[in-house]
Structure 1
């Protein structure tokens, strides 16, 4: 399992889940979901809301305000306060403009500014959040303005000036006649009541700008729907509107394409109070022709490339799997049961792999490792047995039995319990453990040392007669596809064999393999633990980095966090153990905290892990003595 840093930032899962809950609450859509992307936008077809990585490098309070306002603008604004059909159609038509990037981003900016005013009106508590958002963006555009001026990017420079002017309480920036005329049009955004009003403003800007600028914008400041979404048409959009006049052309005329001029603006608009003539082409007027309509074009090669570039989020089904402890049986689950393993594990299949007969070399290796940890095992066993004995003989205050030597309570308590009864019943260890070992490829230089820690656990638990299970897991990256992602759960010591004297050498069958999908395996292990009758249940996950698998890079941390959270609802204590390659890094602590909250330990190397696991095991067992 390799370290995955998306956009040079770790994903704060607690913060992400907070934003996800806010998005679901505002959108009022059960099927809605949230994702990080380079820009924020709303996709009404997939009910997807994205929040921007623009905020990753900001201070926490600025980041929190920025992400929340992203959610408000997309989940509440675009979803409920925008005419999204108008918005999407307009974005699509802007792709035909010579300065398509400039006008597209200007349109998104103006719509966001309109939505800000409406959202603050509906929810006054968001005012400070949007003020923080504007302050951050103003600082950003001030620096971008300087850079664009030096690089001689006139259109980018104009866009920066537009944002700074629209969000400034006073005009402190150098302007020109052209900018002054544009601003006189653009300030109408604060009087706009609908998405259609914003469309009209953008058109007026395009008319005034004309051919003043020949170079389109270089940078992207505000996000919009991916191109493959803008180019797609649903059935309703493809239906031809009824024409105002009902005449019909007798035949299709041949025209010289060189003489034909087509307008780049094909929208219908309302004139403003000044009755401006915008020279718009009225699409609802015209003459019927013999050209066939309402047909779908053939798919082009570029469509697949665009789809791959932007990706898609689709939920697939998964077949329910059944776990088994039978060593003679290996189960493989194909197909699907919807969302059984969470929305980030679509298309997974589970292969349950059991142990093979032990090899002589494996028995020798296990003998060596068990001798290395034997001293630690002996100390642990004695400490825990003494704790059990002290619990067993601890006096208990009662109204009858043997007289207690502490008579002070006779004077300090109204009804003192001056007697005790020695416990004759032994204290039981009503505990079960499950050890999950990451067998990803990056464990190749750590697996032998990790086995020492696993042997320490196994020998200690076996001598204390505590039932446990040990499994390794990985994803078959070689054969993984978007439709089918085979995952292997290799159980080397099942519950029913955990106390057998000869089961230990099976641990030697664990080896480094390929990728890892931690959240998936935690779900499977916790589901199995939840069905057991023991009072105290512990799941330990041995790992050396972030989850890493196909279509799992960005979402793996979030999925694993959700899996841990779900397991704890079952009453299962989940503890993450992280093996750092060299010196422990601060970002490692943050990663583990994001996933496991405060229930984790980080070790600088496998040897350090074994030393830290010893007191951890003691603590878990001692506190569980009933």
Structure 2
């Protein structure tokens, strides 16, 4: 797991995940595309193959109101402008044409379309005008500086693009006598109403520019993103007789382009199911399904009507849960290539003497907490109360006659209730946990013992990614069960003592995986605790891992699951680290400043959450 304190300070930057999530919601609303993702890149881009648009990091390190409005202007341009009003068919024809200055030609058109579409969006949506105004002010200063630098360095093509941008904003900049007349043609963009009109103006310019300029642009100020020729692949599978139409209707807008990629993603995820529905079980004999019934019984299972998990089922868990499952489309786009397995953690050796020592040390704290909680539970039991203004009507109605202000109602004693809550604990199993493992085991044991004593259902899972086997095509992840809901009050101290550190951690994926289990529970209070010692770190999961984790936490909250985070550290936490974890987990992140505080902070988390449950009972 990578540390927040990186070696090079200027690389020690983190994303504002809350802001990025807001931009994603804004983009989805403008484009009417809930599946649309927002990422950050050097320049604005459209990326249909990833169902994403990218906003520019150009706006970083500026005053907050400028940064926010700059990002919003990117979203307005991409989600409300280019999304519907940029003609993809004309763009394809445009880029297919040969040119001596291809980079200048393409960037001039994108510059022209940015101007046309920003004017169009601001007219249709007056509320966007403020963000576009700030955008123009900042970029005007930027292009003025770039214009001077490019002229001094002799980058004529770059200087012309800077001047072209400034002329559209009413800024006069001097070019040489040969290029100055071209801006009269460029001014025709004020009347452009479509992509085709912009292309017409740019092509008129290029006839002169290719003659006047010898070299193409050095810098990139505008880029499109995915190649417009990059159409989604067409999938075939047995059982469907599908042929692609020879004269398929050409995609004309970026909106249609994204939708075609999105539909293709959904189709590829369900192809195996469609095959099974249409063709049946591929292992069937020719005689039909009945012949399968003659075979021997392949496996048996044991159960318990009381609901407790019995010893015989643990071995069964180890055999059945190891079958790998694919995560594509179910746990966020950053985890589409994940393949995960679930199994019971293997018991390494008898650690009972060590467990007894840990429990002896923790016993006073556990007893004190249980005594306090049971006292609070008792206080919540209401006694019979008479003479109330509301409640059940008493059989004694005499007060209605003889009293001026009668109170003929009463309330029954509230029945005793079990705590209406469920807890799930995710434990980071990355390699960096190795020096904190003993303290973590003690904290987890404390968590386990308190909830068992209160008869509160809970789960404990160790999660990690295999860094050595991870690749672009597959990222193996593992969940090792220490205690399951079905186990009831069984003591799994030996399993807790068997935890080991592995390689990487994919936090957002693990949170979504556990949230999917928890959302099916009927308890009123659902708590998901995450024990980790740093930021998410896995294959292709650096910057996007931070965003993915923050989004996973936000999604869990929408499902009424409270996510709590305990940062395990062997030294005091810095302000930067605290801000980093608040960015992912909000105000539900706490830290243990030393190894000795792990159990203490775990106790504090449990105390706070259980008090909340009792208070609302």
Q: TM-score, normalised by structure 2?
A: 0.76
* Unmatched tracts of structure 2, length 5 or more: 234-245, 247-263, 274-307, 393-403
1:619 to 603, 608, 611: 608
Deviates further, 12-21 or 119-128: 12-21
Distance 2:160 2:137 in 1: 19
Equivalent residue, structure 1, for 2:112? 110
Distance 1:494 1:71 in 2: 44
1:592 to 581, 585, 595: 581
- Indicate conservation of the 8 Å contact 2:341/2:479, yes or no: yes
Distance 1:396 1:530 in 2: 36
Distance 1:348 1:539 in 2: 22
1:398 and 2:386 correspond: yes
Equivalent residue, structure 1, for 2:516? 527
Task: Give the direction of change, closer, same or farther, for the CA distance of 1:333–1:34 in structure 2 (3 Å limit).
Answer: farther
1:434 to 424, 430, 434: 424
Equivalent residue, structure 2, for 1:77? 81
Superposition map of 1:500-579 within 5 A: 500-501=490-491, 503-579=492-568
Distance 2:30 2:146 in 1: 33
- Indicate conservation of the 8 Å contact 1:576/1:600, yes or no: yes
Shift of 1:570: 3.4
What is the DSSP-based 3-state SS (H/G/I as helix, E as strand, rest coil) of the residue aligned with 1:471? strand
CA RMSD of aligned residues (A): 3.4
- Indicate conservation of the 8 Å contact 2:327/2:340, yes or no: no
Equivalent residue, structure 2, for 1:317? 269
1:89 and 2:93 correspond: yes
Distance 2:414 2:76 in 1: 63
Superposition map of 1:319-398 within 5 A: 326-328=313-315, 329-330=317-318, 331-334=321-324, 336=326, 339-357=329-347, 359-360=349-350, 362-392=351-381, 397-398=385-386
- Indicate conservation of the 8 Å contact 2:328/2:338, yes or no: no
- Indicate conservation of the 8 Å contact 2:327/2:338, yes or no: no
What is the DSSP-based 3-state SS (H/G/I as helix, E as strand, rest coil) of the residue aligned with 1:477? coil
What is the DSSP-based 3-state SS (H/G/I as helix, E as strand, rest coil) of the residue aligned with 1:180? coil
Equivalent residue, structure 2, for 1:128? 130
Equivalent residue, structure 2, for 1:475? 465
- Indicate conservation of the 8 Å contact 1:38/1:53, yes or no: yes
Task: Give the direction of change, closer, same or farther, for the CA distance of 1:97–1:481 in structure 2 (3 Å limit).
Answer: same
- Indicate conservation of the 8 Å contact 1:347/1:482, yes or no: yes
Distance 1:119 1:196 in 2: 18
Superposition map of 1:152-301 within 5 A: 152-168=154-170, 170-171=171-172, 173-226=173-226, 229=227
1:453 and 2:453 correspond: no
- Indicate conservation of the 8 Å contact 1:433/1:537, yes or no: yes
Shift of 1:415: 5.6
- Indicate conservation of the 8 Å contact 2:426/2:530, yes or no: yes
1:27 to 22, 25, 31: 31
- Indicate conservation of the 8 Å contact 1:439/1:514, yes or no: yes
Distance 2:526 2:51 in 1: 38
Equivalent residue, structure 1, for 2:146? 144
Deviations 1:105-157 (A, max 9, x none): 22211111111111122222211111011112123223334444555544333
What is the DSSP-based 3-state SS (H/G/I as helix, E as strand, rest coil) of the residue aligned with 1:353? strand
How many residue pairs are counted as aligned between the two chains?
526
Equivalent residue, structure 1, for 2:396? none
Deviates further, 440-449 or 576-585: 576-585
Shift of 1:40: 1.1
- Indicate conservation of the 8 Å contact 1:91/1:230, yes or no: no
* Unmatched tracts of structure 1, length 5 or more: 236-293, 295-312, 402-412
Distance 1:33 1:85 in 2: 24
Equivalent residue, structure 2, for 1:464? 454
- Indicate conservation of the 8 Å contact 1:82/1:194, yes or no: yes
Task: Say which structure is richer in helix.
Answer: 2
Deviations 1:296-331 (A, max 9, x none): xxxxxxxxxxxxxxxxx96763899xxx97421231
Distance 1:45 1:391 in 2: 56
Task: Give the direction of change, closer, same or farther, for the CA distance of 1:560–1:211 in structure 2 (3 Å limit).
Answer: same
Equivalent residue, structure 1, for 2:477? 487
Distance 2:81 2:411 in 1: 68
Task: Give the direction of change, closer, same or farther, for the CA distance of 1:167–1:368 in structure 2 (3 Å limit).
Answer: farther
- Indicate conservation of the 8 Å contact 1:437/1:541, yes or no: yes
Task: Give the direction of change, closer, same or farther, for the CA distance of 1:551–1:60 in structure 2 (3 Å limit).
Answer: same
Deviations 1:194-240 (A, max 9, x none): 212211222222222234333433222222234xx2565899xxxxx
What is the DSSP-based 3-state SS (H/G/I as helix, E as strand, rest coil) of the residue aligned with 2:419? coil
What is the DSSP-based 3-state SS (H/G/I as helix, E as strand, rest coil) of the residue aligned with 1:398? strand
Task: Give the direction of change, closer, same or farther, for the CA distance of 1:580–1:176 in structure 2 (3 Å limit).
Answer: farther
What is the DSSP-based 3-state SS (H/G/I as helix, E as strand, rest coil) of the residue aligned with 2:426? strand
What is the DSSP-based 3-state SS (H/G/I as helix, E as strand, rest coil) of the residue aligned with 2:83? helix
Shift of 1:595: 2.8
Equivalent residue, structure 2, for 1:59? 63
Distance 1:497 1:518 in 2: 25
Distance 2:328 2:529 in 1: 27
